[in-house]
Structure 1
Amino acid sequence: MKYISTRGDRSERAFCEILLEGLAPDGGLYLPLHYPKVDAAMLAKWRGLPYHELAFELLSLFIDDIPPADLKALVAKTYTPEVFGTSEITPLKPLEPGLSLEALSNGPTLAFKDMAMQLLGNLFEYELARRGETLNILGATSGDTGSAAEYAMRGKQGVKVFMLSPHGRMSAFQQAQMFSLQDANIHNIAVEGVFDDCQDIVKAVSNDLEFKRRHKIGTVNSINWARLLAQVVYYFAGYFQATKAPFDTSGRSEVKEVSFAVPSGNFGNICAGHVARMMGLPIRRLVLATNENDVLDEFFRTGTYRVRGSAETHETSSPSMDISKASNFERFVFDLIGRDAARTRQLFKTDVEDHGSFTLSSGEFARIADYGFVSGSSTHADRVATIRDTWQRFGTMIDTHTADGLKVAREHLDPGIPMLVLETALPAKFAETIVEALGREPDRPAAMRGIEQLPKRFTVMPVDTQAVKAFIAQNA
């Protein structure tokens, strides 16, 4: 399998090349030349496999430059009950008939980002050792990516992490998870802006090819294809759990559809669902849920993608989605417009990178229905009400982002089609809103108790790409 850029660079690269690279040289995002197709026979064969074996089968379709035995060992090392708490790794939590949560947040940092980041850490260490090289990872986080990356990379040989976050805009728990790490290979940079400013700096550094190559810069943000690929696995795992009766009485395969509702800020999590659907997984709907920062909801309702600047980006109680420019969105648009790289480059390079907007043609907008996407948004009042209702009726405590997903999921239920809401984090990460909704503190794993009181190690910087470059050069 080879990979190309969404913006027209037709140089075909192998998986391990793009693993360490992040953005393509032309500023685009990598996608495979084609999506491998799965059929009913493959689904029947994979049904019932342990999570790590399912992951190996799926990843093998996209990775052919790591020996199968090595890939199998890396995946088995990653997805264990010891790391993720259960043998299912992503168990379903039924709420009511036809509506369940898919638990993705049982990893080390209590967020779904661990599902991909733990694998990415092992892949990086493996490939760097194979090459005898080092890597400086540059990333941006609105809350969960940073801690997941740092916990996955801490102590890894040949890897240093430089993580940008919006100063003062994460929950106290999220800040403590990152800033309390004292590992020498971890560097936290608190940027005096919003998440989109952090993301813009990461892209600007990545687009400086000379600096990027001299300092061996890579990325763990969801612009990294390897991370998105790892997320595809839990769509298949959720599908198999939701459709446990695969055959009718005559022994014939019964193809069932499932819908997924996904809280979405940077479009990476739901883009993995798009890839799974393109591969042939029977997904009826991909329900995109936003908070008050509803850029993506506006797009799927109107066909207009209107990027907001810092002043228009709301600070909300689901802060990991306080994003007004979704860095993975380009991958979907590339597929939507028939993989027209020139058109993709025109839309994203000309308009979006300058905090502008674009509007699809009527023909392009009409195709969205063919990809299964629908959308909706949620407010602070909505999420508080959803958290309270879910606790009172089902005895299940959910975090603010999952509440956004559950609220919008209920607007798009289809009779007879299971709806799985992807859980994005555990409630402990957003205690203030949980207390507002329920009048009690959320439970917290023993290892995370009192982390807000630990010594913190971070550097505050202005929104300045050159200052970040200088910091990297000094500490790489």
Structure 2
Amino acid sequence: MHYVSTRATSASAARNPQGFSDILLGGLAPDGGLYLPAAYPQVTGAELDAWRSLSYADLAYEILRKFATDIPDAELKALTARTYTPEVYRNARAGESSADITPLRVLEEGAAGKLILQGLSNGPTLAFKDMAMQLLGNLFEYILAKNGDALNIFGATSGDTGSAAEYAMRGKRGIRVFMLSPHAKMSAFQTAQMFSLQDPNIFNIAVEGVFDDCQDMVKAVSNDLEFKARHKIGTVNSINWARVVAQVVYYFRGYLKATSSNGQKVSFTVPSGNFGNICAGHIARMMGLPIAKLVVATNENNVLDEFFRTGVYRVRKPAETFHTSSPSMDISKASNFERFVYDLVGRDAERTHALFRKVETHGGFDLSGAPGSDGDEFKRVGEYGFVSGCSTHEDRLNTIREVADDYGITIDTHTADGIKVARAHLEPGIPMIVLETALAAKFNETILEALGTDAERPAGFENIETLPQRFVVMKADVAQVKAYIAEHTGLDR
């Protein structure tokens, strides 16, 4: 299995084939693009039949071995077995088994269709990011130990990626984590979960700006190839291919648990900001998983919803980005979107590069086919199953109340966005699986507003906001953050 950049010419790809281990520790390709397989591996009906009885860890091994062909099978199987255990994913709700890892719960079933919630928030930081990040931590440690090397992880978070990365990497030999987050724009729980960590290899940087400012700085550092090499910079953001492919696993798991025959289709609704989570669904569909629809659910920052309705991708400026009650989706520049656009334009790397240059120079592009547009590829979006919708603060409050009243469970704000949008796309005979984003406790301010009572917290998180916090505040300045990294890695600037 070889990997190519979304911006690579055929000649450069042929000269420099990349394996899974080659791209594991990095983020952007040297040309500024994102890595994808040269061709998506295919899954047969016989394989799906054989996978129905597997544990989550064994299913992860079977899927990952199609992508990580340069890691010996026995070692890859040991990595997935060590990652996906009930001890790690222990925060199941009442009535659910932590051994299921990603339990499914039918919320409603009627003439309009069947609505299912897939639990992805049982890991150590109570968010779906743990599903990939725990594996990434073990993969990083494995590769670094094998090569006798070290890594400085530099990432950005709008709330959940940061804590999931830090909890996955804390105490890992040879790894430091430098994590950017928008200052005072995460929930109190999210902030405390990150900033209360006292591990000497964890560095939290609160940036005076929005998430997109943080993400832009990560890309700027990744594009400085000399600095990146000298300081051994890697990333855990969803531009990292290994993280995306780890998320492919739970789409297969959801399908296998929600159906009894391989001829049946399902749909997935995914709360979406940076397009990484639903990009994994796109990859699963390209591998042959029978997915009818991939429903993109956004909040008031509806850049992706606008594209999937109109064909226009229009990035918002920081001043135009709303601070909402589903803050992990307060994103106006979806970094993983380039992976889908690359497929949409027929894997034409030069065209992909030109479109995303236009994002940087003109703030977006238009594939609607209208006069003066940049192309007409939007007409092909339906071939990939994508539809979309958006949700507001009032929608979130109403959905949280309805789910609590009707089903006796408390959902977080992002999952509420997903359920609200999913209901508009239900189809008879096709189960709709909504991917849970996080446990409600992480966004207690809005739960209290919606229900008049606090969200239940798993053991160990009762007083997390009162713990001492360790972080620095910094302007959105690339030079300043580079100097901070250099100072704390003991290397010259």
TM bucket, shorter chain: over 0.9
Kept after mapping to 2: 8 A contact 1:309/1:355: no
Question: Does 1:433 find its partner at 2:441?
Answer: no
User: 2:99 corresponds to which residue?
Assistant: 87
Structure 2 match to 1:61: 66
2:359 aligned to which of 337, 352, 371: 352
Question: How big is the shift at 1:42?
Answer: 1.0
CA-to-partner distance for each residue in 1:349-407, whole Å, 9 max, x for gaps?
x2223461100153301100000000000000000000000000110110000000000
1:27 maps to a residue whose letter is G
> Which of 195, 198, 221 is 2:237 aligned to?
221
Q: 2: CA distance between counterparts of 1:463 and 1:139? A: 14
SS in structure 2 at match of 1:74: helix
1:20-35 equivalence runs, <5 A: 20-35=25-40
Residue 308 of structure 1 aligns to a residue in which SS? coil
How many Å separate the matches in 2 of 1:67 and 1:138? 28
Query: What does 1:371-382 correspond to in 2, within 5 Å?
Result: 371-382=384-395
Q: Secondary structure at the match of 2:177?
A: strand
Per the alignment, residue 175 of structure 1 pairs with 191
Check conservation: 2:310, 2:368, Cα contact below 8 A: no
Distance 1:474 1:17 in 2: 27
SS at match of 1:472: helix
In the aligned structure 1, how far is the partner of 2:181 from the partner of 2:451? 29
| Aligned counterpart, 2:403 | 390
Give the distance between the partners of 1:177 and 1:355, measured in 2 at CA.
37
* CA distance in structure 2 between the partners assigned to 1:173 and 1:115 by the alignment: 19
* AA matched with 2:73: P
Q: Deviations over 1:399-455 (max 9, x none)?
A: 000000000000001100000000000000000100111110000012111111111
CA distance in 1, matches of 2:72, 2:47: 22
- Give the corresponding residue for 1:411: 424
Distance 1:355 1:419 in 2: 37
Q: Does 1:73 align with 2:73?
A: no
What does residue range 54-453 of structure 1 map to in structure 2 within 5 Å? Answer: 54-85=59-90, 86-97=98-109, 98-243=114-259, 245-246=260-261, 254-348=262-356, 350-354=357-361, 356-362=363-369, 363-453=376-466
Percent identity over paired residues: 70
Q: 1:343 to 1:421 in 2, by over 3 A?
A: same
Whole-angstrom distance in 2 between the partners of 1:421 and 1:56: 24
Distance 2:55 2:402 in 1: 33
Q: State whether structure 2 residue 55 is matched by structure 1 residue 50.
A: yes
Instruction: Identify the range of structure 1 (148-157 vs 81-90) with the bigger mean alpha-carbon deviation.
Output: 81-90
Equivalent pair of 1:103/1:423 in contact (CA under 8 Å): yes
For residues 66 and 190 of structure 1, what CA distance do their matches in structure 2 show?
Answer: 36
Q: Which moved more, 1:15-24 or 1:367-376?
A: 15-24
**Aligned equivalents of 1:357, 1:105: Cα separation in 2:** 33
Paired letter, 2:133? M
Distance 1:13 1:355 in 2: 32
Unaligned 5+ runs, structure 1? 247-253
How far the C-alpha of 1:218 sits from its partner, in A, is: 0.2
CA RMSD, 1 decimal:
0.8
User: Contact conserved, 1:308 with 1:355, CA < 8 A, in 2?
Assistant: no
Runs of 4+ aligned residues of structure 1 deviating over 2 Å after TM superposition are none
Once residues 273 and 89 of structure 1 are traced to their aligned partners in structure 2, the CA distance between those partners, rounded to angstroms, is: 18
After TM superposition, give the deviation of residue 298 of structure 1 in Å.
0.1
Task: Tell me the SS of whatever aligns to 1:233.
Answer: helix
How far apart are 1:64 and its partner, in Å?
1.2
- For 1:291, the aligned partner's letter is N
Residue 4 of structure 1 corresponds to which residue in structure 2? Answer: 4
- Secondary structure at 1:412 match in 2: coil
- CA–CA distance in structure 1, aligned partners of residues 216 and 459 of structure 2: 36
Q: Secondary structure at the match of 1:160?
A: strand
Q: 3-state SS of the aligned residue for 1:139?
A: strand
Residue pair 1:180, 1:456 contacting (<8 A) in 2 also: yes
Corresponding residue SS for 2:296: strand
Match of 1:272, as an amino acid?
A
Contact 2:358–2:365 under 8 Å retained in 1: yes
Identify if the C-alpha distance between structure 1 residues 470 and 355 changes in structure 2 by more than 3 Å, giving closer, same or farther: farther
Letter in 2 for 1:434: I
Q: Deviations over 1:319-344 (max 9, x none)?
A: 00000000100000000110000000
Q: Say if 2:312 and 2:368, in contact at 8 Å, map to a contact too.
A: no
SS at match of 1:446: coil
Out of 360-369 and 145-154, give the one that drifted further: 360-369
Unaligned runs of at least 5 residues, structure 2: 91-97, 370-375
- What is the alpha-carbon distance in structure 2 between the residues aligned to residue 459 and residue 188 of structure 1? 7
Question: 1 CA distance for matches of 2:2 and 2:21?
Answer: 10
Q: CA deviation at 1:48?
A: 1.3
- Give the aligned residue type for 1:207: N
TM-score norm. by structure 1 comes to 0.97
User: 1:460 & 1:352 partners in 2: Cα distance?
Assistant: 29
